[in-house]
Amino acid sequence: MAAMNIQMLSRGYLTWELTHSPIAVVVVGAGFAPPILLLSLYGGAVADRYARKRIIQLGQLAMLVISLFIAFSISTGTVTVYHLIGASLGQGTIWAFLMPARQAIVADLVDDEHLTNAVALNASGMSLMTLAAPGIGGLIYGIWGPAATYFTISGLTIGAYVLTGFVPLMAPVARGSRRMWRDIKEGLAYTKHNRTVMMLLLVALSTAILAMPFRSLLPVQIERVFNMKVEALGLLLSMIGVGSLFGSLVIAGLSKNNHRGWVLLGTSLLSGIAILLAAATTSYAVALVIMVVLGVGDSGRRALNASLIMEETDPEYRGRVMGVYMVNFGLIPLGAIPLGFIAQWFDVRLSFAVAGGALVAAALGYTVLTSRIRRL
């Protein structure tokens, strides 16, 4: 997660420096989405068929190859925006296999009673890196340049591979049929008939389409609205980490008697309100405070959404259902591309307002129209 957060900052800002185009920033930021959309269902079936630890480690090695490629491209002065788009597409392909296994393996390590707590604790570790890594990455980028940030990313990825080696190696939970596509169809049919899981996936879809593209446009806000540089972007992203860490630790203490469905809906609404506030402000200091609020909302919906989906899913289908969950991230361009055009033709603050307003409307709609989530 440290590597991922530094990469989000450096890739977005490097794209902006190369092109000064909001559309290019959004395209590079969302370039991982098409492979996820195409391959996540397959990746979920793989996560149920094979040892999840091995899938994660192979994904980490592939991520290392991509980060080193970009680092050497920058060092030799040959990097272009097309290199960054290609790297984003490659990473999306890897995530389509790595992330379903990473999500599902948590349920292998703890009992169902502590699943929400485990997912939230995992999210708090991620939030800690969201707090620390962007600021560090911004300093590295500002002092030593983008190549140094990508070499740092490579070192962190090696560390992740080594640490994953300490996770127990467990046998696959599902035998699977001879045909992979049959496993995928079974997973889709299971998801379709599990109405609670379907509603939770819809919540994840709306937040992925509306909340995730917001971050990819922050480099545009930093220069066009605040007239600041990459170090300021790092601090802004770190403030999201402050809120995420606090929110994740709160979620980690929740039990099944704490109305977690209401918490999920409330944090989704909080994210939308924070994005609306970010659209309204022209003060960098105020934006820092708003990012803390956004982080609280983000941590709640991320940790709770994933854990509730896994709780409501039978163990032999968890990899495939998490593959469907990852498809949500493949649909991010549905929100990112229109927001990028709004930022290009009008103002980045207008794109924030559209995303925040739509997310608030979606959260209110889920709260009013469905009782399945409220009962969780």
Task: Output the six-digit token pair for 308.
Answer: 């509730």
Distances from the Cα of 87 to the Cα of 23, 31, 91, 144, 346, angstroms: 17, 8, 6, 22, 29
Tell me, what's the pLDDT at 177?
Answer: 54
- Say if 121 falls within a structural domain: yes
Kindly state the DSSP code that residue 68 receives in the 8-state scheme: H
Measured between alpha carbons, how far is 322 from 45 in angstroms, rounded to an integer?
Answer: 9
Q: Is the pLDDT of residue 176 over 70?
A: no
Q: DSSP states of 133-145 as a string?
A: HHHHHHHHHHHH-
- Say if 227 falls within a structural domain: yes
- Say if 374 falls within a structural domain: no
Q: Is the pLDDT of residue 132 over 70?
A: yes
Q: pLDDT tens across 222-266, in order?
A: 888 888 877 788 788 888 878 888 887 787 777 777 788 888 888
Q: Is the pLDDT of residue 172 over 60?
A: yes
**Percent of the residues in the chain that have a pLDDT greater than 70, as a whole number:** 97
Measured between alpha carbons, how far is 17 from 37 in angstroms, rounded to an integer?
Answer: 29
**Alpha-carbon dihedral sign for residues 171, 173, 177, 182:** negative
Q: What pTM does this model have?
A: 0.74
Q: How many domains does the chain have?
A: 1
Q: Which domain holds residue 198?
A: 2-369
Q: pLDDT tens across 55-67, in order?
A: 999 999 999 999 9
98 neighbors 44 (Cβ within 8 angstroms) = no
Measured between alpha carbons, how far is 88 from 108 in angstroms, rounded to an integer?
Answer: 30
- Say if 47 falls within a structural domain: yes
- Say if 25 falls within a structural domain: yes
Half-sphere exposure for 85 (CA within 13 Å, toward CB): 11
- Say if 375 falls within a structural domain: no
Tell me, what's the pLDDT at 173?
Answer: 66
CATH code of the domain in which 239 resides: 1.20.1250.20
- Say if 128 falls within a structural domain: yes
Residue of higher predicted confidence among 336 and 40: 40
- Say if 376 falls within a structural domain: no
Pick from 325, 312, 115, 99: which is nearest to 207 by CA? Answer: 325
Q: pLDDT tens across 305-326, in order?
A: 877 888 888 888 888 888 888 8
pLDDT class of 209 with cuts at 50, 70, 90:
confident
